[in-house]
Homo-oligomer: A and B are copies of this chain.
Amino acid sequence: MVIPEIKKPLVTAEDYVQSLRDMKTKIWAFGECHEDVPDNPLFIPHVNAVAKTYEMPFPVKSHLTGKTINRFNHIHQGTDDLVAKVKMLRALNNKTACCIQRCAGMDAMNATYIVTYEIDKAKGTNYHERFKKYVEYIQDYNLVVLGAMTDPKGERNKQPNQQADPDLFLHVVEEREDGIVVRGAKAHFTGVSGAHSMLVFPTQNLKEDCADYAVVFSCPVNTPGITYIFGRQTNDNRKQDPEHPIDQGNFKYATVGGECLAVFNDVFIPWEDVYLYKDYEYAGMFVEAFASAHRQNYGACKGGIADVLVGAVYALCLANGVAKAGHIKDKIADMINLTETLYAGSIACSYEGKPTESGAWRADTMLANITKHNTTKFVYEINRIAQDLCGGILATLPSEADFKHPEIGPMLNKYFACNPDVMCTEDKERLLRLVECLTGGTASVEAMHGAGSPQSQKVMMMRDANLMKKAKLAGDVVDCAFVDRL
Contact = CB atoms under 8 A, between A and B. Distances in A.
User: Chain A: interface secondary structure?
Assistant: helix
Given A167-B414, A187-B393, A395-B449, 12 more contacts: A28-B402, A29-B402, A83-B351, A229-B411, A232-B397, A307-B473, A315-B483, A329-B458, A336-B461, A340-B367, A388-B448, A433-B478
B336 A422 contact: no
A337 interface: yes
A477 B93 CA distance: 10
Interface in A375-393: 376-377, 380-381, 384, 387-388, 391-393
Given A31-B405, A392-B450, A232 B250 contact: no
A356 interface: no
B185 A415 contact: yes
B480 A155 contact: no
Interface in A229-261: 229-235, 237-238, 240, 246-247, 249-253, 256, 259-261
A263 B411 contact: yes
B440 A401 contact: no
A258 to B, nearest CB: 9
A477 B96 contact: yes
Given A154-B417, A253-B477, A453-B392, A231 B398 contact: yes
Interface string A336-353: 110011011101110110
**Which residue of A337, A408, A415 has the most chain B CB atoms within 10 A of its CB atom?**
A415
17 contacts: A152-B416, A158-B321, A167-B415, A230-B398, A234-B234, A234-B440, A237-B238, A259-B392, A307-B473, A314-B471, A327-B458, A344-B370, A347-B351, A380-B381, A387-B444, A392-B448, A440-B440
A146 interface: no
A347 B299 CA distance: 14
Contact of A261 (B253, B332, B398, B455): B398
Nearest to A243: B31
A204 interface: no
Contact of A408 (B227, B237, B394, B420): B227
Contacts of A332: 462, 465, 467
Interface in A275-331: 307-312, 314-315, 318, 320-322, 325-327, 329-330
Given A311-B471, A320-B155, A247 B229 contact: no
Q: How many copies does the complex hold?
A: 4
**Which residue of A318, A332, A398, A475 has the most chain B CB atoms within 10 A of its CB atom?**
A398
Interface stretch (A107-115, A125-133, A173-181, A424-432): A424-432
A354 to B, nearest CB: 14
A297 to B, nearest CB: 14
A384 to B, nearest CB: 5
A370 B342 CA distance: 10
Nearest to A189: B396
A307 B468 CA distance: 11
Identify the 8 closest CB pairs spanning chains A and B, nearest first: A326-B326, A31-B401, A311-B470, A237-B237, A231-B396, A392-B449, A395-B445, A311-B474
A454 interface: yes
B394 A445 contact: yes
A439 interface: yes
A40 B420 CA distance: 37
Interface string A158-182: 1000001101100000000000000
Contacts of A351: 83, 347-348, 351
A123 interface: no
Given A152-B416, A315-B483, A344-B367, A395 B446 contact: yes
